[in-house]
Chains A and B, each alone.
Chain A
Amino acid sequence: MSILAINDLKVQFPTPEGLVKAVNTVDLELEEGERLGMIGETGSGKTVLGLAIVRLLSGAEVEGSIEYQGRKLLLLDEAEMQKLRGREISVIFQGPNSLNPVLKVGDQIAESIRLIGCSNRKDDKKKAVQAMEAVGMPDAELWADRYPHQFSGGMKERAMIALGLACDPRLIIADEPTKGLDANIKVQVVELIRDVTTDKSLLFITHDLSAAAQICDRIAVMYCGEIVEVGRTEEIFSNPLHPYTEGLLRSLPIMGMRAIRGASPSLIDIPSGCRFHPRCDRPCENCARAHPPLVEAESNPGHLVRCFQHDRG
């Protein structure tokens, strides 16, 4: 059984400017032990999706079903949800803003561990240090006694990862863990994540294609609130079928930084038909009118694409 099954998920936010349709009917399955990368840019809905799973969104209208090991998460009450958070499903946020500057790092991790419930007051400090050691911090005991401002960006991220893993969760959701880090630090953090998640299920939300490629078994590409392509990592990067995916890859410096024309659509005013069609360089007649479904590519089962023309050529 898949550890995470998302069906028909819709997330909307009413705002003064209009209804923001952040996530639009997303279907997704994550097998136990699998690592899935959610790739998208600002406005794609990927972060909203991640937070919706652990129900950390405020002011959102959520419809559909999210099942964790068969349990319907959206039907649980807050108390039951809290029991799951941190212990079974854990979120790793971006480092820089998530640490309280006036508390020592070790204390923060210890307190969180205690609140999550996998330790008591006696052992929490010890467990915190263990968690920090597990993420490769040398002299973890010394660092636990220091404050966030004494940590570099990379170390803060390590601390966040330590926090996320401290209670040995089964499913980890990582939200942009490499954002804002220097290139050499990114390398280290990516390797770390890869190492500590080998026997866990991971939902890796990022815009960093390279990081996703190194860590994940499967990749899902999100655009304008929906999944436009999903498949095994090798497939996606060596044989991208959706024009947006192709465009993203072409935008990489190593591929020459050729731009996709146009701008990301607002999530309030969504284009008709295929959401990408205003920016596509080979739209068909149908593309503006009908909304393409996510279908399997004939050449490769397991590789799903949302495009009317994916098998042309």
Chain B
Amino acid sequence: MIEVEGLTRHFFSGRLGKERVEAVDDVSFNIKRGETLGLVGGSGCGKTTLGRLLLRLIEPTSGSIIFDGVDILRLKRREMRRLRPRMQMIFQDPDTSLNPRMTSLESISEPLKLKGDLTRRDIEDEVSRLMERVGLSPEHLGRRPHQLSGGQNQRVVLARVLASNPEFIVADEPLSALDVSVQAQIFGLLSEMKRDRNITFLFISHDLNIVRLMSDRVAVMDRGKIVEVGSTEEIFCHPLHPRTRELVSSAGMDGRLTLMLKESLTSTATRRPGPRMVGVCDDNPMDSKSSRLIINAGCR
């Protein structure tokens, strides 16, 4: 569905703009329809810039982006605008993702209004439906971002994104700014969206454990380049590039903690059906004395 070829974006900084920084450097990859591609890397590696480039929210210096057969970089402004509802973005900080002077109702209605062919009644109904879908109640409609929590704001963002009925979503660290339990809730919402509507995702995160749960394939970025791409299993179990290994090893949880968590599965099993741990195999030996989990835990 998405094909990227030789995408590059330079920034100029330093005195008189002489220093050239290659935020994204000759990047090529593709994403199949309905697939979720995880994009990981340390801070400053260019993953956020790449996300924005894919939606053409900033212009690349060179390269091509083919969306459903159309090179979006060649489109004129008007044609691009018509295409936009099909590709949406979720940002990291829910508090700045919404216009601070607009209420939730206004923010969610906006994409519907831009469609141009819906009556006021239709829009109201649709907004109610979306609110319910993301777990918000009607009282939140009249509130502005500073009156809502991070989790609630992120739900408003999701409702707004869904209002466009997109086929492709770039999620740029959608969970990082949220509390642990709220992360799980929003993650659940994203998974549902993925299943219900077969949406294609680019899931950008620095937290590999979350990426592992969500993605089919993973791409690793370092200093503007993609250094490794593969299925989730391959990346986590047999990382090749040193940068990938670095990331995977620091994502590995503390061995002792993992053992304790494993224990909790059996002790709480009597109270509820026990969930399985993700990425940890029963028959994989874990050295409890070592402080880092062996890289290929959970792998065959």
Contacts and interface: CB of A to CB of B under 8 A. Distances in A.
- Report whether chain A binds chain B: yes
Interface of A: 41-42, 182-184, 186-187, 191, 207, 209-210, 213-214, 233-234, 237-240, 246-261, 263-264, 281-282, 312-313
Contacts of B210: 253, 257
B181 A41 contact: yes
A249 B207 contact: no
B250 A249 contact: no
A258 B184 contact: yes
A249 B263 contact: no
Given A237-B261, A257-B187, A259-B184, A250 B278 contact: no
B74 to A, nearest CB: 37
Interface string B237-263: 000000000110011011011111111
18 contacts: A183-B251, A209-B257, A237-B260, A237-B263, A238-B267, A247-B181, A251-B181, A252-B180, A252-B209, A253-B207, A254-B280, A255-B277, A255-B278, A257-B184, A263-B152, A264-B181, A312-B271, A313-B270
B276 interface: yes
B269 to A, nearest CB: 9
Given A213-B254, A251-B183, 7 more contacts: A41-B181, A184-B247, A184-B250, A210-B254, A248-B180, A250-B275, A253-B210
A295 to B, nearest CB: 18
Nearest to A153: B43
Contact of B213 (A42, A183, A250, A257): A257
Contact of A214 (B180, B256, B263, B278): B256
Contacts of B254: 210, 213-214
A42 B149 CA distance: 10
Contacts of A247: 181
A214 B259 CA distance: 12
Contacts of A259: 181, 184-185, 187-188
Contact of B271 (A191, A209, A214, A313): A313
Given A238-B267, A254-B278, A263 B184 contact: no
Contacts of A264: 149, 179, 181
A184 B213 contact: no
Contact of A240 (B208, B246, B250, B264): B264
A214 B253 CA distance: 10
B147 to A, nearest CB: 10
B271 A182 contact: no
B118 to A, nearest CB: 31
Given A238-B261, A238-B267, A256 B250 contact: no
B183 A257 contact: yes
A191 B264 CA distance: 25
Query: Chain A CB within 10 Å — which of B151, B188, B260 has the most?
Result: B260
Nearest to A187: B250
Given A248-B180, A252-B180, A313-B271, A182 B188 contact: no
B207 A255 contact: no
Interface of B: 42-43, 149-152, 179-185, 187-188, 206-210, 212-213, 246-247, 250-251, 253-254, 256-264, 267-268, 270-272, 275-280, 291
Contact of B253 (A240, A254, A256, A312): A254
Contacts of A238: 259-264, 267
A42 B179 contact: yes
B277 A282 contact: no
Which of A183, A237, A254, A256 has the most C-beta atoms of chain B within 10 angstroms of its own C-beta? A254
Nearest to A260: B181
A220 B187 CA distance: 26
A257 B188 contact: yes
Nearest to B263: A238
Contacts of B181: 41, 247-248, 251, 259-260, 264
A255 B275 contact: yes
B183 A263 contact: no
A195 to B, nearest CB: 12
Contacts of B260: 213, 233-234, 237-238
Contact of B264 (A186, A239, A253): A239
A90 B141 CA distance: 44
A260 B181 CA distance: 6
Given A254-B277, A255-B278, A184 B42 contact: yes
A61 B275 CA distance: 43
A123 to B, nearest CB: 36
Contacts of B275: 250, 255-256, 258
A266 to B, nearest CB: 9
Contacts of B247: 183-184
Contacts of A237: 257, 260-261, 263-264
Contact of A183 (B180, B187, B207, B257): B207
Given A184-B42, A254-B277, A214 B257 contact: yes
A240 to B, nearest CB: 6
Contacts of A210: 253-254, 257
